[in-house]
Amino acid sequence: MLEVIQAGTLCSVQDLGRPGLRHLGIGPGGALDALALMVANRLVGNRLGAAGLEIPLGPLELRFGRDGSLALAGADFDATLDGMPVWPGWRTPVHAGQRLHLAAARFGQRAYLAVDGGIDVPLVLGARGTDLGAGFGGLQGRALRVGDRLPQGRPNPHWPRRGVKLPDWSPLLRALPGPDYPAFAANAQRRFWGEAWQVSADSDRVGYRLLGNTLHCELEHELPSHAVLPGVVQVPPSGQPIVLLADAPTTGGYPCLAVVIEADLWLLAQARPGARLGFVRCGLAEAAAARDAQARYLRQLEWGLYGR
């Protein structure tokens, strides 16, 4: 059991989401920086998709109910365990009664906490992650509150303190042209790839709103509703693009200018409001190569930690 002493803001239980239910209107959800959650999970000996905590805003403080280990990955929140520093990308042994404190993000936007055994909330519609918009999954379908008790799964074998190299963040996101790309004027296309886009404060798990010059689409008709996916860059009539993320609706009707590749979605999850981002055009082969590179990183991590 983990006791929530300070709850931060919009901290939620997340896993790798619930794919396969889009036909019921239920989106995939799951950790926005899935790579960080997977790394943290493997550090403490969990399977890649075990449930952990997504922490977008501190301060968060937890008291551990049993001995075990913890790992943080993603944003650096100046974390301490009973006052001693805990760095992202490290496995740290923890004893019952110790307190983990996460202050505020020094770099990046979201921290991920994995504890050995995972956060053992019930499966809802096939996953443990919280759907904050629809109010189910995770801990009672909501963000953490002071006084909450998070059930922790069965202990894993103990391993000593150990660190891994975390991937480097970059403000450049690779993207494929979207199906409605040709319907945008040539200068809108040029501006999308060529100019910097500022992350709006109005950005969350549903999507990131980007501020910059407006992009006009020449489509005469609204599009009949069609599936949208995390990474889709849609442009509503206001001309300000929105990059959809894990909690986005499953279908939409705005023109799709581009699609951020899956391997770069975590970069967006770690971009802070006010950050300036750029889009780099790429093709299907490059997207597949980027996915392979990420899989190779995880395999290397596995080899380094467990020799397999």
Partner 1 sequence: MPSSAIRLYTLGERAAVIASPPPVNVGCQRRIWWLAQRLASHAAVCELVPGMNNLTVLLDPAGPAPDAFLAELEALWQQAEAAQLPDTREISLPVIYGGADGPDLGEVARLAHLSPDEVIALHAGANYQVYFLGFRPGFAYLGGLPTRLSTPRRAEPRRTVPAGSVGIGGEQTGVYPLASPGGWQVIGRCTEPLFDATAEPPTRLRPGDTVRFVPVTEPCSR
Interaction between residue 57 and partner 1 (CB under 8 A): no
Residues in binding contact with partner 1, number by CB under 8 A: 48
Q: What contacts 295, CB < 8 A, 6 or more positions away?
A: none
Interaction between residue 124 and partner 1 (CB under 8 A): yes
* For partner 1, the closer CB: 56 or 88: 56
Q: Are 181 and 281 within 8 A, CB to CB?
A: no
Least CB distance to partner 1 at residue 233 (A): 10
Distances in Å between the alpha carbon of 232 and those of 21, 105, 159, 244, 308?
Answer: 18, 27, 40, 5, 36
Distances in Å between the alpha carbon of 57 and those of 7, 77, 235?
Answer: 9, 9, 28
Interaction between residue 30 and partner 1 (CB under 8 A): no
Out of 133, 151, 163, 212, the residue judged to bind partner 1 by CB under 8 A: 133
Q: For residues 61, 65, 67 and 72, what is the CA-based torsion angle, rounded to 10 degrees?
A: -30
Structure tokens given for 292: 């392979």
Give the 3-state secondary structure of 82-113: CCEECCCCEEEEECCCCEEEECCCCEEEEEEE
Beta bridge partners of 227: 251
Stretch that binds partner 1, among 17-25, 57-65, 152-160, 299-307 (CB under 8 A): 17-25
* For partner 1, the closer CB: 85 or 253: 253
Interaction between residue 213 and partner 1 (CB under 8 A): no
Return the axis-axis angle of helices 284-306 and 34-43, rounded to nearest 10°. Answer: 20
Least CB distance to partner 1 at residue 29 (A): 11
Interaction between residue 288 and partner 1 (CB under 8 A): yes
Interaction between residue 138 and partner 1 (CB under 8 A): no
Interaction between residue 220 and partner 1 (CB under 8 A): no
Q: Are 57 and 22 within 8 A, CB to CB?
A: no
Distances in Å between the alpha carbon of 39 and those of 35, 83, 165, 206?
Answer: 6, 24, 10, 23
- E-only strand ranges, 185-261: 197-199, 207-211, 226-227, 232-234, 242-244, 251-252, 256-260
Question: x/- binding map, residues 252-281, to partner 1, per CB under 8 A?
Answer: xxx-x--x-xx-------------------
Least CB distance to partner 1 at residue 179 (A): 4
Out of 236, 275, 281, 298, the residue judged to bind partner 1 by CB under 8 A: 236
Q: Are 102 and 74 within 8 A, CB to CB?
A: no
Interaction between residue 229 and partner 1 (CB under 8 A): yes
Out of 8, 45, 137, 255, the residue judged to bind partner 1 by CB under 8 A: 137
DSSP codes, 45-68 = T--TT--EEEESEEEEEEEESSSE
* For partner 1, the closer CB: 116 or 180: 180
Interaction between residue 291 and partner 1 (CB under 8 A): yes
Instruction: Classify burial at 156, counting beta carbons within 10 Å of its beta carbon; exposed 0-12, middle 13-18, buried 19 or more.
Output: middle
Out of 163, 171, 212, 249, the residue judged to bind partner 1 by CB under 8 A: 249
* For partner 1, the closer CB: 77 or 208: 208
Interaction between residue 201 and partner 1 (CB under 8 A): no
Interaction between residue 25 and partner 1 (CB under 8 A): yes
Interaction between residue 24 and partner 1 (CB under 8 A): yes
Write out the residues near partner 1 by the rule CB under 8 A.
19-20, 22-27, 124-125, 131, 133-137, 141, 176, 178-179, 202, 206, 221-222, 224-227, 229, 231-232, 236-238, 249-254, 256, 259, 261-262, 284, 287-288, 291
